[in-house]
Structure 1
Amino acid sequence: MNLFKRFLLLIISYVFAAIPIYASDFQADYDTQYAISPSGTTIVTQNVTLTNKQSNLYPKQYTVSIDSDQIKNVIAYDSKGVITPKVSQKDKKTEISVTFNDQVVGIDKKLLFSLRYENGDIAKKLGNIWEVRVPGVTSDSTLGEYSVSLQTPSTFPQNAYMTPLPGTGARWNKNQLINGGINAAYGEYQSYIVDIIYPLVNDSLTSVVQSVAIPPDTTYQSVTIATIDPKPIDIKKDEDGNWIASFTIPANGRIDIKTQLIIKTYIKPLPQSQKQLLNTSSYLKQQTYWETNNEKIQEYAKKYTTPRAIYDFVIQTLTYNYGQITSTPVRKGALGALANPTNSLCTEFTDLFIAISRAAGIPAREVVGYAYTNDSRLRPLLVGSDILHAWPEYYDKASSRWIPIDPTWGFTTGGINYFDIFDFNHIAFVIHGLSSELPYPAGSFREGSLPQKNISVRFSESTTIVTKDTYTTVFDLPKQITAGKTLKGTVQVNNSGGKQIERMDVNVVATPYAFQIQKVGEHIPPFGSISIPISIKLPILLHKSQGIIDITINGEHASFQYEILPTYWIYGVIGCFLIALLLIVWTFIQNK
């Protein structure tokens, strides 16, 4: 279904006494102009030309139904002057009817008229971003030329994306708009404030360590932990890139982990997201819900061999079931989606894409998170205590990046391109690659069966984020050691800030006893750490000495000094040897 049916359904009515006529008796050509004001109100001007295909007919009335109740200040006119329109609104729709002043009779004769109104739903400011959605058109034999122009104010920020791009003369034509409308956004990034509560319960008689997944940095997402209470023991990054935070839960106790995140989403991929995928085979394996080895999935994988072909197949095969989103859905997996394609949700669109992609040799995985929507029909979510959404990613070898796509919204929006261009509205909570189910996303932690609201997301137009890396260095080494032994321990670098350290170059050098170790390009998640093992073999010494371990982190220096005690047992050996030697000499002299 395309956007023209949703937003701008054109109904042309012709009234003649005792003469039955049809829309096919006329051809309609449209020149539609969208002019967006700085406030976002859009002035829509439709210049319409109706061409008679019969010699004895003429159009008398025109009716347009617009899928919006934000329509006002409607005016209309034809060659004979102003037309007083009839405007009615019901069920969030607006119907405009005009009766023409002019009567044009004769084959190939043309009736020209214009309709102008203000539409408050074309452009919306969401946080830092202006979103623009212009409806498309249906393929109809009575539709002749259809041309659209779009004008935005100079106060708008830089265009982030626009799909499709305009054709000749900075205008869109009918062929472009039949596949969906115009989807555009203006701004550099979107900024969200996300509050999450993780209720952790321990029913055992001893304290335990439990872990939760904190929304991580991704290809198009940057996360700063503004606050987290209590502080985690540590945060580690798993192979999928999830930030796994660990907490100690006392015996028979409960802790509510409360965190506030500043999350920025981008259209351009972040530089640090470019990484070579070393464990490709892990993202080709069969998992629960991803029945890669199934014969039917294998057949589709032979037919659809590229991510785009698989994306198109999924959209053309599955149908979104809006009736399920208010209930507790059961995840069906890829085979379940194929068995019942009209009963699908975002999980089925995602699972089917991943299963076929993996069978075709394309690394793929699932992302579960939050997706902002102001239209539950066009961009639906799973409705529950906390609104979640799922979408797939595939690994692109050419760019060395994971690329997110959204076949669910590609279907529900009637053709908006969620393959080549993503948007600012998706926030990743967890990534499922090595497992199709773990780790659990924020919003899935519950105490009891009652619904709970544990996630809050709001826009933040002015966000201050400290970008300077903050870290501490801890030397876990003995301050004294006896010569001849091996100095063993670790140097631990702790990220004491809420922002991931994207690149940390570490160089450890020991003097005067040779030891060196380097770590280049280390990533440390917020409140995480890296541990560098130290092992220095010390020589035998008969005197006190000192050793120094220097560590250089991104050009900044720290050092640790330790004392080397002499090897006293050697003094004993030498003393015994000298005493023995004196006894031998004394005995020799006495015998003389």
Structure 2
Amino acid sequence: MYKKIITLVIFLLFNFFIFTSVALADDYFDADLHISYSINGDGKTSVTNEITIENKVTEKYSLQYNLNLNNINLSDLKAIENGHELNVIQNKDGDNLTLTINFDDKVVGKGKKRLLEIIYTSNNFARKSGEVWEISIPKVGDAGSYRDYSISIIVPKSFGNEAYISPNPGTVSETENSLTYVYNKKNMETSGIVAGFGTFQVFSFKLGYHLENTKNKYDPVEISIPPDTSYQRMYYTNISPKPVNIVTDKDGNWIAIYNLKPKERIDVEVSGDVQVFANPRKYLTPMPIELFANLKPQKYWEVDDTNIQNLAKELKTPEAIYNFVTQNLKYNSAKISEKTQRLGAKAVLFDKQNAICMEFTDLFITLSRAAGIPAREINGYAYTENPQIQPLSLVNDVLHSWPEYWNDELKAWVPVDPTWGSTSGIDYFNKFDLRHFAFVIHGVSSESPVSAGSYKLGSNPQKDVFVGFSQLPTDRHEDITVTGSYSKTFFVDRKVNLKLENTGSVTVYNTSIKIYFDNNHFEDIGIETLPPFGNYQKNLTIPFSLLAKKTPKVIKVEAYNKSIEIPTLHNQDLLFQIISMFLFFIVVIFTSLVKINKKKHARIH
């Protein structure tokens, strides 16, 4: 009598990623697995598991197949063998669902095969987050138990362009309506598959800042608000109270300036939307001197250290540096606290088990700079469903830190995330996701400006960062108001104050001011960046001249397709000078006549 043996068990664990594992009696069976995930336009996925079980010996055969699903809601379940539908027994225990299929016949004999299909549909594999369709496909756990396995993912083209996919598939094919990504053992031995489809993601945000002037005099206080970058575009709807101005610093940060009274406290609220792009857009290209500043050593970035230098010479490229950081540093979640000490690159090389996102970022930046690759730090918000796999390590409002390096071929700063690459096993070097929202850039300095979420007062600071999925705002216009005033002084040079203010929701780039004196071109002024709620002011000197010969009658200003005319005091100047000269001559003549009259009287006497 043949001995009965079973069991083929597949465990599906779904948290942020879904993992599968299989237990096979390798001495008795060979198993091949192919899983097809066919996703429709609504995100519903039809899953087909094709399992081929081949007997390696004569006296053993399988009688039962068990499939364990965790946190998976399924429908339309069926199991098929040789065109015959088998009964499926479902046993649910909490979030765990066990499917048991008993085979109706015996497949006996060495080399004999049993082909089983388990088919079901589920909404757990694809979902729309904001403007992006995100797909999570399980890792095949205990992959060594399979002789061979493969996965195919069929994605409708209605999802949009591929924003990111990791790891890279073995092959990609397309039809009129869909794309098919095929993976085998070599493509996905270490991780599951994550992908995003869509050109961009949109987040809405509301940020709080708590400011105080502790001095006994008026004092300017600055805050950093999220800026435009190659990978994101800002749409601001409110900054309250309104700042005196918003300017850009050397790293491209947007700095809002407030002039606080002595001992004054204010709460600032900033809100709007951010559009995060899958690929870098055309943006401002930094000057060579600005890139050079991103090669220098800073606190925590000990570029000149001997160990750092030697390691950088060995690694050489951004990808090699990324791989070294992700493979050598270990994330220590126990380190997260308000008193977390930032180690810096030099120290973490000797304490590799004690890193959080700051150390992953610091080491990547320092090694890159030592290798002659400009690099900088980004602090900001990163969306995650599972902080254990995608941790957020900055204490203030649970923010995140990641690096960027300068890609001279793309002429763009390229973001990577070695922290998430290390903790999730996903490639965050070759393809970035649409979940990172930059608040501040640290290039010239490793510590400033301070990120949103860090402007706290008091011993019990409240939450100040609120971010959620959104859609592009309907109001995303550019607008500039142009005003000018003319000082009314006499016998001295006059001043004309020109002011351009961005009253729109987006930044205006590379605009210019053209100034004309009586239709004669006088000066051009270029403005590279004018953020929302920001302004540019220029004082023009109008020289005082005899008979107003050098004083224009009208100053014309053209900026951003708008034109204003500022009347001057030309005619008043001319009239005043003529009257003054007339009075002067009258006085001179009168004085002369008086003197002549006095001389006549003197001769008579």
Name the TM-score, length of structure 2 as normaliser.
0.85
The residue aligned with 1:552 is 558
Aligned partners of 2:338, 2:585: CA distance in 1, in Å?
Answer: 86
Structure 1 residues 61, 346: CA separation in 2 closer, same or farther (over 3 Å shift)? farther
Aligned partners of 1:544, 1:130: CA distance in 2, in Å?
Answer: 65
On the 8 A contact 2:18/2:136 being kept in 1, the answer is no
On the 8 A contact 2:86/2:103 being kept in 1, the answer is no
**In structure 2, the residue corresponding to 1:408 is in which secondary structure?**
helix
1:333 aligns with 2:339: no
The residue aligned with 1:282 is 293
The residue aligned with 1:150 is 153
Aligned partners of 2:216, 2:527: CA distance in 1, in Å?
Answer: 43
Amino acid at match of 1:419: F
Q: 1:173-192, aligned counterparts within 5 Å? A: 173-192=184-203
1:475 aligns with 2:478: no
Q: 1:364-383, aligned counterparts within 5 Å? A: 364-382=375-393
Amino acid at match of 2:354: N
User: Which residue among 225, 232, 241 is the counterpart of 1:230?
Assistant: 241
Q: 1:165-176, aligned counterparts within 5 Å? A: 165=169, 167=171, 170=180, 171-176=182-187
The residue aligned with 1:508 is 515
1:426 aligns with 2:436: yes
1:260 aligns with 2:266: no
The residue aligned with 2:118 is 115
The residue aligned with 1:162 is 165
**In structure 2, the residue corresponding to 1:411 is in which secondary structure?**
helix
Residue 52 of structure 1 and its aligned partner are, at CA, apart by 2.8
The residue aligned with 2:369 is 358
Residue 290 of structure 1 and its aligned partner are, at CA, apart by 1.2
The residue aligned with 1:345 is 356
Report which stretch shifted further, 525-534 or 155-164. Answer: 155-164
The residue aligned with 1:44 is 47
Aligned partners of 1:57, 1:228: CA distance in 2, in Å?
Answer: 73
For 1:551-592, what per-residue CA distance to the aligned partner results, in whole angstroms no more than 9, with x for missing partners? Answer: 2113322222212425678779988999999999xx9xxx9x
For 1:197-245, what per-residue CA distance to the aligned partner results, in whole angstroms no more than 9, with x for missing partners? Answer: 1111233333432111111111111112211211111111111111111
Q: 1:59-458, aligned counterparts within 5 Å? A: 59-66=62-69, 68-71=71-74, 74-79=77-82, 81-89=85-93, 94-137=97-140, 140-153=143-156, 156-163=159-166, 164-165=168-169, 167=171, 170=180, 171-325=182-336, 329-382=340-393, 386-414=397-425, 416-458=426-468
Unaligned runs of 5+ in 1: 14-21
On the 8 A contact 1:301/1:359 being kept in 2, the answer is yes
Identity %: 33
Aligned partners of 1:516, 1:305: CA distance in 2, in Å?
Answer: 51
Structure 1 residues 57, 542: CA separation in 2 closer, same or farther (over 3 Å shift)? closer
On the 8 A contact 1:9/1:66 being kept in 2, the answer is no
Aligned partners of 2:62, 2:23: CA distance in 1, in Å?
Answer: 9
Structure 1 residues 78, 85: CA separation in 2 closer, same or farther (over 3 Å shift)? farther
**In structure 2, the residue corresponding to 1:172 is in which secondary structure?**
strand
On the 8 A contact 1:4/1:181 being kept in 2, the answer is no
User: Which residue among 516, 523, 540 is the counterpart of 1:517?
Assistant: 523
Structure 1 residues 286, 65: CA separation in 2 closer, same or farther (over 3 Å shift)? farther
**In structure 1, the residue corresponding to 2:410 is in which secondary structure?**
coil
The residue aligned with 2:177 is none
On the 8 A contact 2:485/2:566 being kept in 1, the answer is no
Report which stretch shifted further, 391-400 or 106-115. Answer: 106-115
For 1:377-415, what per-residue CA distance to the aligned partner results, in whole angstroms no more than 9, with x for missing partners? Answer: 33221375622011101111222211111111122221x
Amino acid at match of 2:195: A
Structure 1 residues 280, 174: CA separation in 2 closer, same or farther (over 3 Å shift)? same
The residue aligned with 1:53 is 56
Amino acid at match of 1:167: T
Aligned partners of 1:296, 1:99: CA distance in 2, in Å?
Answer: 61
Unaligned runs of 5+ in 2: 1-12, 174-179
On the 8 A contact 2:530/2:536 being kept in 1, the answer is yes
Structure 1 residues 320, 101: CA separation in 2 closer, same or farther (over 3 Å shift)? farther
Name the TM-score, length of structure 1 as normaliser.
0.87
**In structure 1, the residue corresponding to 2:311 is in which secondary structure?**
helix
Aligned partners of 1:283, 1:528: CA distance in 2, in Å?
Answer: 26
Aligned partners of 1:43, 1:325: CA distance in 2, in Å?
Answer: 41
**In structure 2, the residue corresponding to 1:417 is in which secondary structure?**
coil
Residue 311 of structure 1 and its aligned partner are, at CA, apart by 0.9
